[in-house]
Amino acid sequence: MSGRVLVGVKRVIDYAVKIRVKPDNSGVVTDGVKHSMNPFCEIAVEEAVKLKEKKLIKEVVAVSCGPQQAQETIRTALAMGADRGIHVQVTGKDYETLGPLQVSKILAALAKKEDAQLIILGKQAIDDDCNQTGQMTAALLDWPQGTFASEVSMEGDKLKVVREIDGGLEMIKINTPAVVSADLRLNTPRYATLPNIMKAKKKKIANVNPADLGVDLTSRVEILRVDEPPQRQAGVKVETVDDLVGKLKDTGRI
Amino acid sequence: MLGAVICEQSGSAASKLCVKHMVTPVVLQAEVFPYPEVGNEEAEEIQQLVAPVEKFFAEEVDSARIDQEAKIPPETMNGLKELGLFGMQVPEEYGGLGLSNTVYARLAEITALDGSIAVTLAAHQAIGLKGILIAGNEAQKNKYLPKLASGEHIAAFCLTEPGSGSDAASIQTRATLSEDGTHYLINGSKIWISNGATADIMTVFARTEVVKDGVKADKISAFIVERAFGGVSSGKPEDKLGIRGSNTCEVAFDNVPVPVENVIGEVGGGFKVAMNILNSGRFSMGSSSAGMIKKLIELTSEYAATRKQFNRSLSEFGMIQEKFALMAVNAFVMESMAYLTAGMMDRPGLPDCSVEAAIVKIFSSEGGWICVSEALQVLGGLGYTKNYPFERYVRDCRILPIFEGTNEILRMYIALTGMQHAGKILTGKIKELKKGNIGVAFGMAGKRLKSAFGSSVDFGLTGKDGVVHPSLEESAKKFEQNVAFFGTTVESLLYRYGKSMVDEQLILKRVADVLINLYAMTAVLSRSSRSISIGARNHDHEVLLANTFCSDAYFKNNYLMTQLQKHSPENNDANIKKIAKEVLENRAYICSHPLERTF
């Protein structure tokens, strides 16, 4: 076992930013808007670093797909404790249409190239909410998957994963190599301290082209239109059940 | 002639415009055009460093609680230490982050969001340990810096005494050399010491007997004093109006033994060390205040946009709009000045930017005070309650014009330093005159006439080869005019008062105010020129802010300088002094009550 873990990190618009739709409804405004690492990816990095600190794995490699700015996100992962980074360069139109299918192909190719034992991803990104990359990556590699993980532990060469599901919690045991996707309660990510950020400057980030990995970035999805959600209307208070029924009839709801 | 000498340098004269001579008689050295640029590596670094600090302050800092309990919770302090915020400017080899002044200023924008934390950090590193950093020897640095950088040890700066505040040179704390010459015994007490109760390592200033050429003198020396040396006691924490989470107290020294190795710099050279320490940290108040105002703009505009009265949102009313313009312009000027100064200080060769730093401090402290008050005003009654942070910002800001050198003292410093420089040049000219060099006298008279008739002044800022962008041309011209008028004004003041100028505070105050405005104008012109040329986002707005500020400052400067002219009817100083004399003599308001009768 290589003892190597691949962690995917995505650069997204910061969760605290008020999102605005572009005037031409082609997407959201990203220019000059604050971006940061996807919160679930932070949890993924934290988990990987924790495993390394427990000496269960040997190396954490942070991967991000995107333009030049993706390097900032990788650097944050390095500051949190990842050992090195891989920046898969995707720019322009390719970046606009980059989705889980393309990213999972990239990750699968890298996993083979790097001889990874484990891939940890965030369960979903807060910009597109796809919740697909982990699952697709596992399928492409024909690896077992432990998604929505709220607890991960290694038992020999098997992985015990507690999953958050609708009914409660499910515990599964899967073989490695495997793909895990992190859910909210898996851990609390550490702050990248300033001294660690300075140390991370010395860690390496390799540049890779999707073409070199034999990945075709063509998208099967075309975004037609982006709209703001409808404005929330004020509610109305009613005194009795009869009033309620009356009002529902009036507005044509029943 | 004083006012209109352009520093002619080889190469691109415009780009290396020497403000020193342009704004003569002020010692504003360094090159202010083009606006300082950070290197690529540093730019990336800044992005990286800002993120976790912003996150920490947004999620882990409960300012209301810190203010209410008058202390910073240990978990928060630990978080700050772990982040690395206790050793920002300590070199990496001693365990710090080794940040430049520019990056330090950038982080100060964030730490300023909590006044108590900002002051605690600044007392520790901007002044507390700074002496060791800038004047300490290798042994001292190796011994003390690592634990100070990690925050394991906290530092404090001990200069002020009950009888010596602004008059720092009059301190009475004494350090007596032991018989065997191995250590000093320090006796005395200090007040208003930030981190006084928590500091393990203190920079203490005390009088020492120095013998020079057989003459005994009592000079101030700087010492590194460890609380562990024994004899150090701290009084109870002061109950303050603002920055309540920052510890401030008296510190007493009772026969504290301090090894001679712990003298910082030369014995007897302590005053200079103190001044250098204070000068080096001042500029960051510009970015702190700017950071705070920017935050206030966000909080306040949210309210102004949603609150309605008379069926219109507050943001539609002129008097409310004016407040937002005020805040935006102020933040813009403070930022521009802070980073211009930091950029100059980061240049190799340790340039002396003490006058510029003093200017930044005065503008930021007073501008900040006005802006928080206006922000509170927008919220009206709500702003006055503790349910909102505005009243805390107001209370926290009130200390800014007081500490780190009162604004009154700093105005004297700015004006006198400039006058001194002008005085030197003038003395030279006077000598020429006395030698009978009539040509010089005619030259001066001629140029005086020229400027009196308002003939155009040209310093090369604008025009074909100008450094300032055409959209800022009007402002640059106003600036040049101010500078020319200023030159003649100062010259005439020196003729009129000579050395007794030192006692004319009301005059010096105006001189300082003009200089502050001039430096501010320079900063905004330089910054917005850069923004236009690099195509920064919203640079049109910057031009608007710059032009608005310069126009306002231009008229203010002209009025100030008018008041400085001989026999100026706009000058009420004589009356002001008379009123003050009569009131102070009686220690009360002396008018008979309007309802009193004499019949």
Q: What percent of chain B has pLDDT over 90?
A: 75
Question: What is the per-residue burial (b if ≥16 Cβ within 10 Å, else e) of A218-230?
Answer: eeeeeeeeeeeee
- CA A69 from centre of chain: 16
- Report DSSP state, residue A178: E
Between these two residues, A252 and B456, which has the higher pLDDT value? A252
Residues of chain A by 3-state class (helix, strand, coil), percent to 5: 30, 25, 40
Residues 6+ apart with CB under 8 A from A92: none
Host H or E run for residue B191: strand B183-194
Which among B48, B97, B537 has the least Cβ separation from residue A195?
A: B97
Q: Contact at 8 Å (CB) between B432 and B443?
A: no
The answer to whether A17 faces chain B, any CB pair under 8 Å, is: no
Per-residue pLDDT band at B458 (split at 50, 70, 90): low
Tell me the C-alpha to C-alpha distance, in Å, between residue B139 and each of A102, B133, B146, B155, B180: 58, 12, 12, 18, 22
- Does the active-site annotation cover B44? no
The answer to whether B393 faces chain A, any CB pair under 8 Å, is: no
Looking at residue B352, its pLDDT comes to 83
Amino acid at B346: D
User: Distance (Å, rounded) from C-alpha B265 to C-alpha B134?
Assistant: 9
Q: Contact at 8 Å (CB) between A67 and A190?
A: no
Q: Contact at 8 Å (CB) between B4 and B457?
A: yes
The active-site residue, picked from B250, B404, B480, B542, is B404
CB < 8 Å to B84, chain A:
193-195
Measure CA of the first residue to CA of the last residue in chain A; give whole Å. Answer: 62
Looking at residue B468, its pLDDT comes to 82
CA torsion A167→A171→A172→A178, rounded to 10°? Answer: 90
CB < 8 Å to B151, chain A:
none
User: Distance (Å, rounded) from C-alpha A76 to C-alpha A37?
Assistant: 8
User: Distance (Å, rounded) from C-alpha B501 to C-alpha B413?
Assistant: 13
Q: Which residue of B has its CA nearest to A80?
A: B52
Per-residue pLDDT band at B427 (split at 50, 70, 90): low
Looking at residue B439, its pLDDT comes to 53
Burial class (CB in 10 A: 0-12, 13-18, 19+), B377: middle
CB < 8 Å to A31, chain B:
537
Q: Contact at 8 Å (CB) between B427 and B495?
A: no
On the question of pLDDT at B9 being above 80, the answer is no
**Which of B128, B35, B135, B10 shows the shortest CA–CA distance to B338?**
B35
Does the distance separating the beta carbons of A194 and B83 come in below 8 Å?
yes
Q: Which residue of A has its CA nearest to B43?
A: A72
The answer to whether A201 faces chain B, any CB pair under 8 Å, is: yes
Q: Contact at 8 Å (CB) between B291 and B368?
A: no
Looking at residue B457, its pLDDT comes to 54
A155 DSSP β-pair partners: A158
Which among A32, A76, A198 has the least Cβ separation from residue B537?
A: A32
Query: What number is the average pLDDT over the span B578-593?
Result: 96
- Give me the domains of chain A, ranges plus CATH numbers: 4-251 (3.40.50.620)
Judged by average pLDDT, the poorest of A167-171, A225-229, B447-451, B501-505 is B447-451
Residues 6+ apart with CB under 8 A from B525: B461, B468, B472, B475, B476, B479, B546, B550
Q: Contact at 8 Å (CB) between B537 and B528?
A: no
User: Distance (Å, rounded) from C-alpha A43 to C-alpha A57?
Assistant: 17
A-interface mutation test, from B48, B106, B539, most A Cβ less than 10 A away: B48
**Which of B299, B373, B269 shows the shortest CA–CA distance to B330?**
B373
Q: Contact at 8 Å (CB) between B83 and B52?
A: yes
User: Distance (Å, rounded) from C-alpha B435 to C-alpha B446?
Assistant: 19
On the question of pLDDT at B592 being above 80, the answer is yes
Residues 6+ apart with CB under 8 A from A69: A11, A35
Q: What percent of chain B has pLDDT over 70?
A: 87
User: Distance (Å, rounded) from C-alpha B572 to C-alpha B582?
Assistant: 16
The vertex-B91 CA angle with B130 and B132, nearest 5°, equals 25
Count CB pairs under 8 A between chains A and B: 45
CB < 8 Å to B55, chain A:
191
Q: Which residue of A has its CA nearest to B87?
A: A195
CATH, range B156-270: 2.40.110.10
**Which of B418, B375, B420, B379 shows the shortest CA–CA distance to B397?**
B375
The full DSSP string for B207-245 is EEEEEETTEEEEEEEEEEEEGGGS-EEE-PPP--SS-TT
Looking at residue B417, its pLDDT comes to 87
Does the distance separating the beta carbons of B84 and A31 come in below 8 Å?
no
> What are the pLDDT digits (tens) for B255-289?
999 999 999 999 999 999 999 999 988 999 999 99
- Chain position carrying tokens 């005037």: A23
B-interface mutation test, from A36, A191, A202, A205, most B Cβ less than 10 A away: A191
User: Is the Cα dihedral A34, A36, A40, A46 positive or negative?
Assistant: negative
Between these two residues, B580 and B26, which has the higher pLDDT value? B580
- Omega prior to A189 cis, within 30 of 0: no
Which among A32, A191, A201 has the least Cβ separation from residue B52?
A: A191
**Which of B547, B65, B44 shows the shortest CA–CA distance to B332?**
B547
> What are the pLDDT digits (tens) for B45-88?
898 899 899 999 999 999 999 999 999 999 999 999 999 999 99
Query: What number is the average pLDDT over the span A117-138?
Result: 97
On the question of pLDDT at B100 being above 70, the answer is yes
CA torsion B305→B541→A92→A225, rounded to 10°? Answer: 30
What does the mean pLDDT of chain A come to? Answer: 94
The vertex-B421 CA angle with B356 and B496, nearest 5°, equals 115
B70 φψ region: left (φ > 0), alpha (ψ -120 to 50), beta (else): left
Measure CA of the first residue to CA of the last residue in chain B; give whole Å. Answer: 63
The answer to whether B302 faces chain A, any CB pair under 8 Å, is: no
The answer to whether A72 faces chain B, any CB pair under 8 Å, is: yes
Question: Residue B288 half-sphere exposure, CB side, CA atoms within 13 Å?
Answer: 30
Q: What is the ipTM of this complex?
A: 0.77
Looking at residue B146, its pLDDT comes to 97
pTM: 0.85
- CA B418 from centre of chain: 16
Looking at residue B18, its pLDDT comes to 32
On the question of pLDDT at B10 being above 70, the answer is no
- Omega prior to A23 cis, within 30 of 0: no
Which among B52, B98, B537 has the least Cβ separation from residue A192?
A: B52
- Chain position carrying tokens 């920017």: B294
> What are the pLDDT digits (tens) for A7-48?
999 999 999 898 999 999 999 999 889 999 999 999 999 999
CATH level 2 (architecture), domain B40-154: Orthogonal Bundle (1.10)
Which among B44, B83, B88 has the least Cβ separation from residue A193?
A: B83
Per-residue pLDDT band at B446 (split at 50, 70, 90): very low
CATH, range B1-32+408-579: 1.20.140.10
> What are the pLDDT digits (tens) for B525-557?
999 999 998 999 999 999 999 999 999 999 999
Residues of chain B by 3-state class (helix, strand, coil), percent to 5: 60, 10, 30
User: Distance (Å, rounded) from C-alpha B580 to C-alpha B573?
Assistant: 10
Query: What number is the average pLDDT over the span B408-412?
Result: 96
User: Distance (Å, rounded) from C-alpha A211 to C-alpha B441?
Assistant: 79
**Which of B409, B429, B427, B578 shows the shortest CA–CA distance to B508?**
B409
User: Distance (Å, rounded) from C-alpha A177 to C-alpha B54?
Assistant: 37
Domain ranges of chain B: 1-32+408-579, 40-154, 156-270
Amino acid at B334: M
Do the two domains B40-154 and B156-270 of this chain adopt the same fold?
A: no
- Report DSSP state, residue B161: B
> What are the pLDDT digits (tens) for B117-140?
999 999 999 999 999 999 999 999
Q: Contact at 8 Å (CB) between B117 and B72?
A: yes
User: Distance (Å, rounded) from C-alpha A185 to C-alpha A149?
Assistant: 8
B216 DSSP β-pair partners: B211
Residue B349 has which token pair? 């060769």
Residue B63 has which token pair? 């300012």
The answer to whether A31 faces chain B, any CB pair under 8 Å, is: yes
Amino acid at B515: L
B525 DSSP β-pair partners: none
β-bridge pairing B215-226 and B248-259: unpaired
Helix (H, G, I), strand (E, B) or coil at B131: helix
The answer to whether A36 faces chain B, any CB pair under 8 Å, is: yes
Residues 6+ apart with CB under 8 A from B459: B4, B6, B17, B22, B480, B483
Query: What number is the average pLDDT over the span B363-391?
Result: 96
> What are the pLDDT digits (tens) for A51-79?
999 999 999 999 999 999 999 999 999 99
Q: Which residue of A has its CA nearest to B81?
A: A193
Looking at residue B25, its pLDDT comes to 33
Which among B47, B53, B92 has the least Cβ separation from residue A198?
A: B92
B215 φψ region: left (φ > 0), alpha (ψ -120 to 50), beta (else): beta
Looking at residue B200, its pLDDT comes to 97
How many contiguous H segments (helices) and E segments (strands) does chain B have?
Answer: 20, 10
